Amino acid sequence: MTWLFNPPAPVALSIIGRQALFPVRRILCVGQNYAAHAREMGADPTREAPFFFAKPCDALTTEAEVPFPSATENLHHEVELVCAIGGEGADLSPAAAGNLIIGWAVGVDLTRRDIQAEAKSRGRPWDASKGFDHSAPCGPLTLGALPNPGGAIALAVNGEMRQSARLDQMIWSPAEVVAQASRLWRLMPGDLIFTGTPEGVGPVVRGDRIEAAIAGLAPLTFTLT
């Protein structure tokens, strides 16, 4: 096999306590999965089926420095629990979907809120607001069951708490989110699913230090440069 040019390097997450890396295939994200965040975005937090958007897998970054994106005056942080998929399946029950989740990480769904607001108002797609380069900072994976399903999820900017909630405040549990996703895509090993953010999203600027944490998981810290 020869290539016209070199294929891109695989995108990977490190795994706590393991030498092996998790190869990332695809990043799916769920919108408005905490009632208080749905309300702060002007939506009705009823238990409608969750909706999804995607980020390209090379939007993932594990670097301590994340470049501030172009073309936005209103970059927002969204701390999220990330599910790592380790098996294949489609049209799954929540129980079967839960069995596909082999690990967990802390992620931040960086969002160009100004571009997203324009897209929403004009009925345009979200790609430029959600799927830009370096838009998915993510910490290392912890394999196994979620250590503390009712535990804290939080994000601080320059030491000031901005988001503070509990994982059991999700409208749809991680297994339910993965089950819903599996009705829309055949899930495969290497897929990551961002499960939505709690309330308290807000703007960040160049130089800000962002610390994201979920009970029992390795924290994620990065600086916008």
Tokens of 199: 């309330």
Shortest gap between Cβ of 136 and Mn ion (angstroms)?
Answer: 10
CB-closest chain residue to Mn ion:
109
Taking the least distance from each CB to Mn ion, the nearer of 109 and 191 is 109
Tokens of 39: 């309300």
Shortest gap between Cβ of 194 and Mn ion (angstroms)?
Answer: 6
Q: Which stretch binds Mn ion (CB under 5 A): 78-86, 117-125, 137-145, 172-180?
A: 78-86
Task: Give the x/- contact pattern for Mn ion in 125-154, rule: CB under 5 A.
Answer: ------------------------------
Decide: 155 and 79 in contact? Cβ < 8 Å: yes
Decide: 199 and 207 in contact? Cβ < 8 Å: no
Taking the least distance from each CB to Mn ion, the nearer of 41 and 188 is 41
Shortest gap between Cβ of 79 and Mn ion (angstroms)?
Answer: 9
Side chain identity, residue 167: L
* Sign of the torsion formed by the C-alpha atoms of 53, 49, 117 and 109: negative
78 near Mn ion, judged by CB under 5 A: yes
Q: Which stretch binds Mn ion (CB under 5 A): 15-23, 64-72, 101-109, 150-158?
A: 101-109
Please work out the total of residues on this chain that contact Mn ion, with binding judged by CB under 5 A: 3
Nearest to 176, CA basis, from 83, 106, 86? 83
Among 109, 176, 191, 211, binds Mn ion (CB under 5 A): 109
Taking the least distance from each CB to Mn ion, the nearer of 15 and 84 is 84
Shortest gap between Cβ of 107 and Mn ion (angstroms)?
Answer: 9
Decide: 100 and 219 in contact? Cβ < 8 Å: no
Q: Which stretch binds Mn ion (CB under 5 A): 9-17, 56-64, 81-89, 195-203?
A: 195-203
Close Cβ partners of 113 (under 8 Å, ≥ 6 residues apart)? 72, 74, 75, 76, 129, 201, 203
Number of neighbours of residue 124 by Cβ within 10 angstroms: 13
Tokens of 86: 């380790």
H-type alpha helices, the chain:
35-40, 94-100, 113-122, 127-130, 174-184
Taking the least distance from each CB to Mn ion, the nearer of 129 and 197 is 197
Shortest gap between Cβ of 92 and Mn ion (angstroms)?
Answer: 22
Contact positions vs Mn ion (CB under 5 A): 78, 109, 197
